[in-house]
Amino acid sequence: METVSENRAFGGVQGVYRHTSAVCNCDMTFGLFLPAEAADGPVPVLWFLSGLTCTHENAMTKAGAQSWAAEQGIALVFPDTSPRGEGVANDEAYDLGQGAGFYVNATQAPWAEHFRMWDYVSDELPALLSDTFAIDPERQSVTGHSMGGHGALTLAMRHPGRFRSVSAFAPIANPTASDWGRKQFDAYLGADEATRAAHDATLLMRQGGFDGPMLIDQGTEDQFFDLLRPQALAEAMAAQRQDGVLRMQKGYDHSYFFISTFMEDHVTFHAEALYA
């Protein structure tokens, strides 16, 4: 594994690392913030899955999470959103291909050779982190934004017992019923409805929900509101009596200004679960 950079931040270290991924069949880059407490032993970890067009860097530099994570003694992981590099399939559209992995394992050409982001964030990267850094695999939580909110919610619901809490900022909440989902699932997964349903947070909520607390923030002025379909997830949460809350934040849009405004709330929410 190659160290791309390491910078002192809030008493800890914000690093960027590159490694060869057997799952994605290419080099992958991720960011990792380790608080000062990591020098004395394994610390709990909060995953941040980013949205369309993002790399590992967007949330790492714009979300303002490190100060709050340092205060709570929590590590932060910022994976990339897709495989990248020469020979990796791509598309001219911003919402397909590189930067738009949708946290699924592609089964269709030309995507299947590299686009296995589900296995990457579920298995390969967690194993690498716990083997290499002072990360406690028994204390994990996950959050994400937009496409990454979709990934966070589906990851948490499909891995019972792994994550102590889950949150999301403006998640793509019902992708099988949205153009942010149907297009990508057609390309990556083909026509199999069961495979597609396994990556839809609203459908997973209807089937059983999450075995822990959940926090979702959604801006009322989000320019992508109709594509995100938060109302479908809210109805499913109510029907399932999910331990959680979906907050409509008046006047906020889809940007990192929205995310950074409520990041302290989310880190505090996860810290309560991680240290329970």
What are the residues whose beta carbons fall under 8 Å from the beta carbon of 144, sequence distance 6 or more? 47, 48, 49, 50, 51, 150, 151, 152, 153, 168, 169, 171
How many residues does this entry show for the chain? 276
CA of 132: how far to CAs of 51, 126, 127, 137, in Å?
26, 10, 9, 12
**270 catalytically annotated:** no
Q: Give the distance, in angstroms, between the CA of residue 242 and the centroid of all CA atoms in the same chain.
A: 20
Of the listed 80, 141, 222, 266, which one is catalytic? 222
Of the listed 114, 145, 199, 254, which one is catalytic? 254
Of the listed 21, 50, 141, 146, which one is catalytic? 146
What are the residues whose beta carbons fall under 8 Å from the beta carbon of 250, sequence distance 6 or more? 220
Peptide bond into 110 cis (omega under 30): yes
**146 catalytically annotated:** yes
**56 catalytically annotated:** no
Residues known to be catalytic: 146, 222, 254
